[in-house]
Homo-oligomer: A and B are copies of this chain.
């Protein structure tokens, strides 16, 4: 059924909801010229409709009852911006069952319940836009699904959590500890009171699950992602990394090869000269290596009112165009995996270069002992740094390896950590050093 105008309802009138309303209201005429038909914002629902927001709304548009949107036969597109799993999931499913198309920025929900939601949407011939769920203002979903349609993607990796990137940038520039950088990020509103999702890599893993599903045509595999956050990164390691020519970033990595996919989120050393190594503060970037297009990089703001609203707006426009031209479903969505049975590589089988830092007693023989254990586990050393000398005391001993298998690394470190000449546990940071 073709329509000559498209009506939008927003559920969740927080930061991003306000941004979307701002665009729909303030750019009404421009959008109409660009799309060729009007977009009407008819209702906004939020629990708190009394809070002062810096935006002028048409009278009677605000409601504290989401059902007024979900049950409104005039509304074509429901924009879900409340976040979290409940009640967002119920709202989305109700919207779909009521024949409404949905736009959401809810990565936590899609990463954990996405397969089910996409299946329901497909069954009901409903479009589900989720551009804003990964890397905010960077149109990475559109790039992967549409622009790279003629490509086989080999590698996708990215800085897709602005909070951790801000913290790592602070730690690098000002040589402060994680805890202090976190406090500053919280003071500036870049980190939440409970920062777990951001600093433990969970938010990045949510986004990676969505991105990898699209990139490789696999089911959403959040629970299979190896996830490690940035809480153990120290200024000492950032310094050693710098001396070796690297920067440390929280990287979400997905690679495809030999019929297997590997998915991981962890602090990663990247050569300083890579473009992505220079993506600092709250900015995000996604690097893609694909067979036709080669290396490409997409950079922008990963969060915030207007950048995220820009992505939501792109989805609203796409779906609205499909509604007015009667072409709903013209792009096949996620949830239609090409390779439902692809194997996700076990973490033990991942191959990477590694940075190790040990606290080793400065005594003859310690280096050869450690090197011996590494060698016995097929790990070959590329370089060693031992600068401080304090006879008979523990000093940092840094090693960079050539490519090694995670399983071998764990076995070797278990032995090294037990050496009498080594105190505490080794610090391990994976290194990503492909040609960009």
Partner of A293, one of B36, B137, B217, B291: B137
Residue A358, interface by CB 8 Å: no
A19 contacts B292, C-beta separation under 8 Å: yes
B35 contacts A332, C-beta separation under 8 Å: yes
Residue A94, interface by CB 8 Å: no
Closest approach, in angstroms, between the C-beta of A245 and any C-beta of chain B? 15
Q: Which A311-338 residues have a C-beta within 8 angstroms of B?
A: 311, 313-314, 317-318, 321-322, 324-327, 329-332, 338
A294 contacts B314, C-beta separation under 8 Å: no
Residue A142, interface by CB 8 Å: yes
Residue A244, interface by CB 8 Å: no
Residue A14, interface by CB 8 Å: no
Q: Which A288-323 residues have a C-beta within 8 angstroms of B?
A: 290-301, 304, 306-307, 309-311, 313-314, 317-318, 321-322
Query: Among A148-156, A193-201, A373-381, which stretch is in contact with chain B?
Result: A148-156
| Complex CA–CA separation, A290 to B310 (angstroms) | 10
Central interface residue in A150, A294, A309, A322, by most chain B CB within 10 Å: A150
B138 contacts A296, C-beta separation under 8 Å: yes
A317 touching B278 in the complex, CB below 8 Å, given contacts A301-B295, A309-B292: no
| Complex CA–CA separation, A151 to B307 (angstroms) | 10
Residue A47, interface by CB 8 Å: no
Closest approach, in angstroms, between the C-beta of A88 and any C-beta of chain B? 22
A146 contacts B137, C-beta separation under 8 Å: no
A313 contacts B35, C-beta separation under 8 Å: no
Residue A31, interface by CB 8 Å: yes
Q: Which A171-221 residues have a C-beta within 8 angstroms of B?
A: 217
Q: Which residue of B lies closest to A331 (CB)?
A: B321
Residue A57, interface by CB 8 Å: no
Q: Which residue of B lies closest to A36 (CB)?
A: B332
Residue A147, interface by CB 8 Å: yes
Q: Which residue of B lies closest to A294 (CB)?
A: B301
**Residues of chain B lying within 8 A (CB to CB) of residue A314:** 146-150
| Complex CA–CA separation, A108 to B239 (angstroms) | 50
Q: Which residue of B lies closest to A325 (CB)?
A: B327
Residue A139, interface by CB 8 Å: yes
Residue A273, interface by CB 8 Å: yes
Partner of A332, one of B34, B306, B309: B34
| Complex CA–CA separation, A197 to B43 (angstroms) | 53
A150 touching B327 in the complex, CB below 8 Å, given contacts A296-B138, A296-B299, A307-B293: no
Known: A294-B304, A324-B330. 6 other contacts (CB 8 A): A27-B150, A139-B147, A293-B301, A293-B307, A294-B306, A322-B327
Sample 16 A-B pairs with CB under 8 A, ordered by A number: A27-B150, A33-B217, A137-B293, A139-B146, A146-B314, A147-B314, A292-B307, A293-B300, A293-B311, A294-B306, A295-B301, A297-B297, A322-B325, A322-B327, A322-B330, A325-B325
